[in-house]
Structure 1
């Protein structure tokens, strides 16, 4: 018997040919791509700050973070603005995606554990995989995607919308 408590909603998006998903409840909004304000001396995947309704939101190139090639923006490129719950705070972060597809439900029994081998990125980032349309959708564990040092960097006073 399928009940809504056995399903979770996810936003699906692509990086190249790969399809990924994040829980819909962490996605605040989806914006058209625009260049971010560069932050000096940041890691290569940190594109900079993006103004989102008066808040400076650090924006990262998820392709670079996952060891793929740098994003080349197209008319389909989007930024998912997310509020990621961490241990003692919420991190607002923009993730650049090549294309955003849809909000879709996955049943909990569809979600398989992350495979240990045969993937191009460390499996610690993967909350699970779902078989769909002859391929896989990789569900990203956002909290483990970033190290403690990275989350501290991304919550600098400048990133919180204060004057530097």
Structure 2
């Protein structure tokens, strides 16, 4: 958060026509897409492990985690390497997104509470929404997106 303006910075990303955002403080780096090394018997959304500077990093397909259909990667597909606080520790993981759009700053009064109905995403994954023109940016609550069960699976994968 910028102390001067009270703005909070987010990295916005696209999944199809939808726009989501993750807090910039969790983003370690953004990589061009390379297929992760597959892992047997993991959940469908766990694509496998990506080599991030010599470290095996569990990589999730964000589309599958949200219940969307898988799509083949394109030249715009990116892996966001994140450090997410889960249960008192940092969990390193990669999230595959159709595209990364920009770093955007929102003020706390621009962030509306996550609606309980009217959107197709589970509201417990959402920190809130920001109205932009005629659309919305859905702000992820990353620790909630990754349940304790997910954290255990990702730890085992790493």
TM-score, normalised relative to structure 2: 0.95
Counterparts of 1:124-135 in structure 2, within 5 Å, are 124-135=124-135
2:145 corresponding residue in structure 1: 145
Q: Does 1:41 align with 2:41?
A: yes
* Structure-2 separation of matches of 1:3 and 1:39: 43
Task: Determine the C-alpha separation between the residues in 1 that align with 2:133 and 2:50.
Answer: 34
For residues 10-29 of structure 1, what are the alpha-carbon distances to aligned partners after superposition, in whole Å with 9 as ceiling and x for unaligned? 00010000000000010000
Q: Distance in 1 between matches of 2:5 and 2:71?
A: 36
After superposition, the Cα gap between the structure-2 partners of 1:150 and 1:3, relative to the gap in structure 1 and judged at 3 Å, is closer
RMSD: 1.3
SS in 1 for 2:37: coil
**Moved beyond 6 Å, runs of 4+:** none
Structure 2 alignment gaps of length 5 or more? none
| Alpha-carbon distance in structure 2 between the residues aligned to 1:106 and 1:117 | 23
1:1-164 superposed matches below 5 A: 4=4, 6-156=6-156, 158-159=157-158
Count of aligned residue pairs for this structure pair: 157
Q: Quote how far apart the aligned CAs of 1:155 are.
A: 0.9
TM (normalized to structure 1)?
Answer: 0.92
